[in-house]
């Protein structure tokens, strides 16, 4: 009798749990699962958003891989962006966290200032950096004028030249490193002070404590930001759309930008959907390999 009452109570609890979760599950199904499955089907069709999708099998994928140079160029630009922006973002974020992990007067203000760019509209941020990097009257070139004269070189064209446009957008992206900095700071402040005190007793200096205690115990947050950086890097679009329009000479014509063009300008929903699924597979494969690095993550309290 007692067992049946417990089972009935559990059923009631499960029912209540499902009722509470049902709006979220319904939203995911309607707004998430259905569009995803629809895009998978459309990727095997030719569809211009007006008529009826016409099934063509793997033709969209075959064209992209065998007869589309722009596809490969956009993929190269995106990989270039990820390979440089992700490590740089990690270094800048960790460096800021190390500098701001001090209990001195006014430190909270500096933390807020470094985090502030993350709450600014990316459109406004891109317009601001276009002005700063403007080759003729931008502040950055004005500051660098003495160096240009010393080296006898012309001012850099930044985002207006194919040779420097990629790095310009990457440098601009570092302005939002304050987002990862907050995560690193939270991880740092969770490290027991006793570990540092023990190291000081053994005669360890700041550098030794940083590389022997701080950085190893920060690996969970470093690993998290590494994965998120990879995923976000492959989806880069807005800054190129606003600042360079994919140029010059398609040097910042990223994969997401090309996918956008296929959908909005060429009205080729089938091709755009195929590109979206290719990108998903690329991100999944790279993320799976990146997750293998989890074995190097050090968690507080675990035995070495």
Tell me, what's the pLDDT at 300?
67
Please check whether residues 38 and 110 belong to one and the same domain: no
My answer on whether omega of the bond before 149 falls inside 30° of 0, hence cis, is no
Please check whether residues 140 and 22 belong to one and the same domain: no
Question: Which domain does 18 fall in, by range?
Answer: 1-42
Please check whether residues 176 and 215 belong to one and the same domain: yes
Flag whether 125 is in a domain: yes
Tell me, what's the pLDDT at 303?
46
Beta carbons within 10 angstroms of residue 303's beta carbon: 3
Flag whether 50 is in a domain: no
Tell me, what's the pLDDT at 250?
94
Tell me, what's the pLDDT at 85?
96
Q: Which residues contact 59 (CB under 8 A, 6 or more apart)?
A: 46
Tell me, what's the pLDDT at 304?
43
Flag whether 51 is in a domain: no
Flag whether 302 is in a domain: no
Flag whether 157 is in a domain: yes
Tell me, what's the pLDDT at 73?
97
Please check whether residues 84 and 221 belong to one and the same domain: yes
Please check whether residues 15 and 79 belong to one and the same domain: no
Please check whether residues 12 and 85 belong to one and the same domain: no
Which residues in 69-93 are b (16+ Cβ under 10 Å) and which e? eebebbbebbbbbbebbbebbbebb
Flag whether 54 is in a domain: no
Please check whether residues 138 and 267 belong to one and the same domain: yes
Say how far apart CA 218 and CA 298 lie, in whole Å: 8
Q: Which residues of the chain have pLDDT under 70?
A: 1-7, 9, 13, 300-304
Please check whether residues 34 and 177 belong to one and the same domain: no
Tell me, what's the pLDDT at 162?
94
Tell me, what's the pLDDT at 6?
66
Q: How many distinct structural domains can be found in the chain?
A: 2
Q: Say what the pTM is.
A: 0.86
Tell me, what's the pLDDT at 286?
94
138-159 confidence digits (pLDDT tens): 999 999 999 999 999 999 999 9
Domain CATH number, residue 82: 1.10.3720.10
Q: Virtual CA dihedral for 293, 294, 298, 303, nearest 10 degrees?
A: -110
Tell me, what's the pLDDT at 108?
84
Flag whether 304 is in a domain: no
Please check whether residues 9 and 105 belong to one and the same domain: no
Please check whether residues 249 and 107 belong to one and the same domain: yes
Please check whether residues 193 and 151 belong to one and the same domain: yes
Tell me, what's the pLDDT at 166?
95
Tell me, what's the pLDDT at 271?
96
- Residues facing residue 46 across a β-bridge: 54
Flag whether 151 is in a domain: yes
Burial class of residue 178 in the structure, from the number of CB atoms within 10 Å of its CB (0-12 exposed, 13-18 middle, 19+ buried) = buried
Please check whether residues 1 and 138 belong to one and the same domain: no
């Amino acid at each position: 009798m007692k067992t049946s009452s417990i089972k009935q109570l559990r059923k009631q609890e499960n029912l209540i749990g499902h009722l509470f979760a049902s709006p979220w599950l319904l939203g995911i199904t309607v707004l998430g699962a259905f569009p995803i499955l629809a895009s998978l089907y459309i990727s095997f069709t030719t569809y211009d958003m007006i008529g009826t999708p016409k099934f063509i099998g793997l033709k969209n994928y075959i064209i992209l891989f065998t007869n589309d140079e722009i596809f490969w160029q956009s993929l190269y630009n995106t990989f270039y962006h990820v390979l440089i922006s992700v490590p740089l973002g990690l270094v800048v974020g960790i460096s800021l966290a190390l500098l701001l992990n001090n209990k001195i007067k006014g430190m909270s203000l500096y933390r807020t200032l470094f985090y502030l760019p993350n709450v600014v509209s990316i459109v406004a941020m891109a317009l601001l950096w276009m002005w700063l990097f403007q080759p003729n009257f931008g502040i950055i070139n004005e500051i660098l004028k003495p160096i240009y004269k010393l080296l006898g070189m012309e001012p850099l064209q930044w985002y207006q030249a194919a040779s420097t446009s990629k790095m310009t957008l990457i440098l601009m992206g570092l302005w939002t490193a304050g987002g990862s900095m907050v995560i690193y700071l939270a991880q740092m402040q969770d490290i027991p002070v006793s570990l540092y005190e023990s190291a000081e007793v053994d005669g360890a200096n700041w550098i030794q404590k940083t590389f022997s205690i701080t950085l190893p115990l920060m690996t969970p947050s470093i690993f998290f930001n590494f994965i998120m950086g990879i995923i976000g890097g492959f989806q880069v679009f807005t800054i190129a759309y606003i600042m360079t329009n994919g140029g010059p000479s398609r040097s910042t014509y990223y994969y997401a930008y090309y996918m956008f063009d296929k959908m909005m300008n060429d009205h080729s929903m089938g091709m755009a959907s195929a590109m979206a699924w290719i990108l998903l597979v690329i991100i999944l494969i790279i993320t799976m390999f990146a997750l293998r690095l989890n074995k190097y993550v050090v968690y507080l309290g675990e035995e070495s």
